[in-house]
Amino acid sequence: MSTIFISYRQSDTMAICDTIYPHMIRAFGADSVFRDKIMLLPGQQYESVIMEHIANAAVFLELIGPTWLDCRDNAGNRRLGFA
C-alpha cells in the first residue's frame, strides 16, 4: 500500500503533479507514491480504492491551484468531496 497520497485537480494542478511525481518515485519508490492516473486499474471502483489509499497513507499531499475551491462538477456543484 502506498505511503504517500497525491491529491490534485486535473483542471489546475495536473502539470505540477506531472512535474513532481517522477521526483517523488525516485526518492521514495514507485510503490510508495499513489497517483490515481498511474495506479488505478480499469474496472476498479474509483471511490473505494481512493478512500483505502487515503486511509492507509502516512502522508497526504494536496496540490492546490488557483481554481481549486471553485472547481465544479457537471451539475455546477463545487467538487469538495465525493458527495
pLDDT tens, 26-81?
999 999 998 887 777 788 888 888 899 899 999 999 999 888 887 888 898 887 75
For position 1, what pLDDT does the model report? 62
Domain count, the chain: 1
Residue located via cell numbers 490534485: 8
Residue 37 lies in a domain: yes
Within-domain flag for 78: no
Question: Is there a domain that residue 15 lies in?
Answer: yes
Q: Is residue 54 part of a domain?
A: yes
In a domain, 69, yes or no: no
Residue 49's closest CA among 72, 82, 9? 82
pTM of the model: 0.78
41: in domain: yes
Distant-in-sequence, close-in-space partners of 82: CB < 8 Å, separation ≥ 6: 47, 51
Q: Does the residue 26 lie in any domain?
A: yes
Q: Which strand (E) or helix (H) includes residue 50?
A: helix 46-56
How much of the chain is in helix, strand and coil states, percent to nearest 5? 40, 15, 45
pLDDT confidence of residue 76: 86
Q: Is residue 25 part of a domain?
A: yes
H or E segment at 59? strand 59-62
For 33, the enclosing helix (H) or strand (E) is strand 33-34
Show the domain range for 41.
4-62
